[in-house]
Each structure stands twice: as structure tokens, then as C-alpha cells.
Amino acid sequence: MNDLKRIAVFTSGGDSPGMNAAIRAVVKTGLYYNLETFGIYRGYQGIVNDLISPLKKKDVLNILPLGGTILKSARCKEFMTPEGREKAYGNLKKHKIDALVAIGGDGTFTGAKVFMNEFDFPVIGLPGTIDNDLFGTDYTIGYDTAVNTVVSAVDKLRDTAYSHDMVFIVEVMGRDAGFIALRSGMASGAGKILIPETKTHIDELLERLQRRMSEEETSAIIMVAEGDDFGGAMEVKKIVNERFPNLSTRVTILGHIQRGGSPSAFDRVLASGLGYQAVKGLVEGISGVMVGSVNRQIEFVPFDKSIKHHDKINLELKSITEILAL
């Protein structure tokens, strides 16, 4: 793309720690390649509503450690219509923008693919989601920070669980994928991990609690992904209370706290590297792909693959965790 002069970056979908590091990398790499960089505020809604303005070096100073996204995010039903996308294209042309960097997840890339195909408009995506479920990258921006947030919270809960002989059932994000529950559960020594990828056998959980009680271990952590097929933490608590009415059981739903906070060093490095590669890719004429990191090597994965194929969870980690929790 020898005629590339102006690019724009936006964040879409759920926010994730490290998005600001990615924005910073896009702006600074753009400067290196003598490109003008624009920021689009509120995701696809911002393209439709013309919330587009230049991003200068001063605009990204000191944002590396910030959680959330300085460009904000929003849902946009209008962009799902041909009329909305036509309006968005007109706004980009008005600002003489030649290419886009889209930071987000599955929904973000789906919209980018449709827009790119309709208007032959160059787009490169960055995997910004705490769920870590996108095909074509070992880690997504924000996942490491989210896992560390959960582990920190569970470490504190364990103190109370031990002090009062309590069982804490901790629900974490993961409507369709159990990556956060699995890795944070392993790191925090959970006695049982319930995730969407495997069927929940509630009798196994009850038997494990019974064994712990017979060994006078009356405190435990049970990690539950919100998309677990049993129905989440509250349903698990109901069954545990029915079987063990004298056992003190509490539910903690961590919710959106997992999305916030200053990104970890790992997420800052990942986001910075992927942001650089996105701009470099556009300069080299690459489009229609997500930039991922596989085995520490940069991979350009077509949107089709990253959207249609979700990354597979490592179920061996679940087996290891359950053995270590005996």
C-alpha cells in the first residue's frame, strides 16, 4: 500500500487490559512510518456517527499502564445494516482514512470482515478480549491480567475460607469458554473447576467435598465459569447446601472486575508487539487478518479462520488441577 497515508484505530466489544497499550503502539508505529493516525471513539458506533479525530503522540503519553480503553467501546446495531455501513464508509472517506486497525474479539472481526468485503477497505485486527478464545493466537490482549485479577481475589477469599471453615464458589467470566476459570483455578489451587467445555458431573463434586470433610478439610474453593452447563455458581451452591446443610457455603461472582485494572507486564508487551505488527502489516499491503502470536512467532490469521474456529482449551490442565487438589 504505497499510497497509505492515514490510518484509524478503534476498540470494540468488551474492554480488556492492554487495549491502551495497543492503541499507543499503533500511533507510535504510525509516526515511524510517517502515517497520520486517527482515533475512532465508541467502536463501530463512532464510525457511523463520525466520532473520528486525530491521535497525536501527546494523546498516548502515559496510557501504557491504564486499563480500559481511552477510545471507549459501544454496541452498534446500525453498523449491522447496509445503510449503516455505507454511512460509516462515507465518514472514513471524508477524513481520507485509508485503512483500519480493529481491536476486539469475535464480533469485532465479523463486522470488519463484512465491511472490508463490501467496500474493499483494508482492515487488520488485534485480539483484544479477556476470554482468550480466538483461533490463531496463544494469548489475547487482557487474558493474562484477567487471570491474575481472579487469582488475587481468590487468594484473599481463601484466607476467610480457612479461617471460618467455608466453601467459596467463585464464578468467573466465560460464557462460552473456560480459559479464565481453568488457568486461574489451577493457579489458586481450586478443588474443582467447572467449565463449558466439559460436562459437569455434580456427584463428583459432592463426593470430593464429602472426602475433604471426612479428612477434616472443611474449607475449599470451587471455580465456576459462568457458562458452565450446570447453570453457574448459584445453582452449584443450591445443590451443595442440599447435600451438606451444615456446611458454610458462599458465592462470589467476580463479574466485570476481571476486565479492569492496570495491564500486566505480559499484556503490555503482547499488545505493544501486536500493535506494531498491525501497522507494519498494513504498510506491507496485508489486510483481512488478525495479528496473533503462536509459539512466540507472529501469525497473520484470516478473519474467516479466527471467527469460525475457536481455540481449544487444554483439558490436561483440568486433570492436573484435580489431581493436585486431592
Q: Which of 131, 133, 228, 311 is catalytic?
A: 131
CA distances from 167 to 157, 221, 249, 253 (A): 10, 6, 5, 14
Element at 85 (helix H, strand E)? helix 82-94
**Residue 53's beta-bridge partner residues?**
39
Active site residue 131: yes
Q: Phi first, then psi: what are they for 38, rounded to 5°?
A: -115, 150
Q: Which residues contact 205 (CB under 8 A, 6 or more apart)?
A: 192, 194, 222, 236, 240
Residue 256 · residue 3 · CB < 8 Å: no
Q: Report how far residue 280's alpha carbon sits from residue 124's, in angstroms, rounded to the nearest whole number.
A: 10
How far from the centroid of its chain's Cα atoms is residue 274's Cα? 15
Residue 265 · residue 137 · CB < 8 Å: no
Nearest to 317, CA basis, from 237, 169, 197, 154: 197
Q: Report how far residue 278's alpha carbon sits from residue 271's, in angstroms, rounded to the nearest whole number.
A: 10
Please list the active-site residues: 131
